[in-house]
Amino acid sequence: MSVVDSHKLREQLSLYFIMGTANCRKSPEETLKAAIKGGATMFQFREKGPSALHGQALLELAKSLQCLCRAEGVPFIINDDIELAIQLDADGVHIGQEDEPAASIRQRLGSGKIIGVSAHNLAEVQQAISDGADYLGIGPVYPTPSKDDARAVQGTRLITEIREKGIDIPLVGIGGITAANTAPVIAAGADGISVISAIAGAADATAAAREFVQAIERAHIRP
């Protein structure tokens, strides 16, 4: 059973930055520093693709990024790699539908760690909640260049449907989100947005993150 503070988690999910070496225009460390400076509230280390690091190189980069997060009080989440998360005592993990179920991961990580699950339909949403997920990543909301295995684009429909059914678990939208199209995601009921390329691939990651922060703030005050 999770003891993660749901209210605090909603705030931390506001601007959820995700990246690995393949996504960065500059070094991962520079990119993460800049994103946090611009207002990123949570970070997920997602090392994927043909050029992905492995072994000691992966461990060293993960440690370096974790240190940056800890210094700024930003939760450090690891994508998929449960062993690495345990080794580093990361703040949590994010898993997909093809990964180990959240229930068994909870047994391995303990009650105080954040577990996020990607969900693409109501059945997956309900299963993830039953398994003890702390938050759900819903998408892809818009077309995305960041994932080769991305599913069919579904807009904000599922986020709206989840909220209309009275399901109150923290939600974050993901997939092709830019500052310009953030508002509908928040309006549908998401607590935050996940961003990869719009920040990691920006010439100025700090400015890009600030744009998102402003877009999120505007979305929350719209009637």
Q: Quick one: three-class SS letters along 169-190?
A: CCEEECCCCCHHHHHHHHHHCC
Question: Would residue 54 count as lying in a domain?
Answer: yes
Is 51 flagged in the annotation as binding? no
The pLDDT value recorded for residue 2 is: 87
Assign residue 41 the CATH number of its domain. 3.20.20.70
At 144, the pLDDT band (50, 70, 90 cuts) reads: confident
Query: Beta-carbon neighbour count of residue 202 at 10 Å?
Result: 20
C-alpha torsion sign, points 17, 20, 25, 31 = positive
Question: Would residue 60 count as lying in a domain?
Answer: yes
Question: Would residue 31 count as lying in a domain?
Answer: yes
Is 132 flagged in the annotation as binding? no
What percent of the chain is modeled with pLDDT above 70?
97
The pLDDT value recorded for residue 1 is: 78
The pLDDT value recorded for residue 45 is: 99
Is the per-residue pLDDT at 223 higher than 70? no
Is 127 flagged in the annotation as binding? no
The pLDDT value recorded for residue 147 is: 59
66: closest CA among 90, 33, 96?
Answer: 90
Is 191 flagged in the annotation as binding? no
At 86, the pLDDT band (50, 70, 90 cuts) reads: very high
Residue type at position 44:
Q
Question: Would residue 14 count as lying in a domain?
Answer: yes
The pLDDT value recorded for residue 148 is: 60
Is the per-residue pLDDT at 94 higher than 80? yes
Is 76 flagged in the annotation as binding? no
Residue type at position 177:
I
Measured distance CA(34)–CA(23) in Å, rounded: 14
Q: Whole-model pTM?
A: 0.96
How large is the average pLDDT for residues 58-67? 99
Question: Would residue 17 count as lying in a domain?
Answer: yes
Instruction: Give the residue numbers annotated as catalytic, written as ranges.
Output: 46, 118, 147
At 218, the pLDDT band (50, 70, 90 cuts) reads: very high
The parent domain of residue 80 ranges over 6-221
The pLDDT value recorded for residue 208 is: 98
Is 111 flagged in the annotation as binding? no
Tell me which of 9-23, 32-46, 94-108 is least confident. Answer: 94-108
Is the per-residue pLDDT at 145 higher than 80? no
> How many domains are there within the chain?
1
How large is the average pLDDT for residues 155-165? 97
Measured distance CA(96)–CA(114) in Å, rounded: 14
Question: Would residue 1 count as lying in a domain?
Answer: no
8 A C-beta contact, residue 144 and residue 114: no
Dihedral, 162, 125, 18, 152 alpha carbons, nearest 10: -80
Residue type at position 17:
F
8 A C-beta contact, residue 94 and residue 79: yes
